[in-house]
Amino acid sequence: MQGDVHIELVSRPDGRHQVFLSDALRVPIAMDRVRNARLRHLPAAGAEVESPLAPDATIGALVATRALPASGGELSVRLEVGSERITMDFALAAATDPHAGHAH
């Protein structure tokens, strides 16, 4: 939470990450109050990659318009709600092999 804005990030395996916004009382924030929403992938090594976040009224969230990595590094949400600029970083877990440790 930053200020009165609570941010939840759903990191999707397909890279179309979703950002849910609510106020201090957990009431969803109207998407028309949000401007300049972007999501950046900050890898441990290499260049960062950025995607605009677009409103999706069917789920009430902002959705990355460009697929970004779903593991490793960090995702940084950057947006404006009213006159408040907000940045929040999320660490992504390293990718794991679902077959690791299983005999084939």
Per-residue confidence band for 71, with pLDDT thresholds at 50, 70 and 90: confident
pLDDT digits (tens, 9 = 90+) for 5-49: 999 999 999 999 999 999 989 999 999 999 999 999 999 888 899
Specify the pLDDT at position 94.
Answer: 73
Query: What would the DSSP string read from start to end of 39-61?
Result: EEEE-SSS--EEEEEEEETTTTE
At residue 31, φ and ψ (nearest 5 deg) are -65, -25
- Listed by start position, the domains of the chain span 6-91
Give domain 6-91's CATH number out of 2.60.40, 3.90.550, 1.10.287, 1.10.20.
2.60.40
